[in-house]
Amino acid sequence: MHIAQVGEAVLKQPAQDVPDEAFGTSGLKNFTAALLKTMLDANGVGIAAPQVFDGRAIMFVASRPSPRYPNAPQMEPLLLINPRIISQSQEHVWEWEGCLSVPALRGFIQRPEQVKVHYQDIDGNPCQIHFEGFLARIFLHEYDHLIGKTWLDHVTSTDQIMAESVWLQQIAGQKGTAH
């Protein structure tokens, strides 16, 4: 699958909910398997369907150490379909993040530290999960893609943008973290 790049119209369009009749189908299962493979091949820790030119509200949160995020926590990839934010913390955290659709750049973005989410699994079953820290950041980043935004929409100053190569040398190396 080809990953949409910043400037392509699909990244500005809100995603549509997956209809009930699509749950459990081979078409949905095949698409989500291909979406996960695309994310893994690109060393991402999350991906949303609009990033591969699909307008459905589908995303993965899949934190794991990688060249782009060497200190990310390990988790099994989690598929979230039709996610909705139930609540988010008042506490916000500033941190650097990157995006497969905004290659070679990092942005210093403020996001809630915690988020509670309702979503459906591959069979349409209702689920809830609570994310915090880096996992909350991944979810909120991917959720932005479902509402037609990227991290660039959160930037208020060019001081909040850095080349990823510089970030990897200066920021990640200094802090020992790669959020």
User: Residue 155 is encoded by which pair of tokens?
Assistant: 């930037």
Closest CA to 109 of 150, 51, 72: 150
162, 104 Cβ separation under 8 angstroms: no
Alpha helix positions (H), the chain: 26-41, 134-146, 164-167, 173-175
Which member of 91, 113, 142, 164 is catalytic? 142
Question: Is 95 designated active site?
Answer: no
Q: Angle at Cα 75 formed by Cα 170 and Cα 21, nearest 5°?
A: 120
Does the annotation place 127 within a ligand binding site?
no
Q: Are strands 114-120 and 78-88 parallel, antiparallel or unpaired?
A: antiparallel
Residue 99 marked in a binding site: yes
Q: Is 130 annotated as a binding residue?
A: no
State how far the Cα of 151 lies from the Cα of 179, in Å rounded to an integer.
Answer: 14
CA–CA gap between residue 78 and residue 57 (Å, rounded): 14
Binding-site entries: 99, 141, 145
Residues belonging to the active site: 142
Binding-site entries for Fe cation: 99, 141, 145
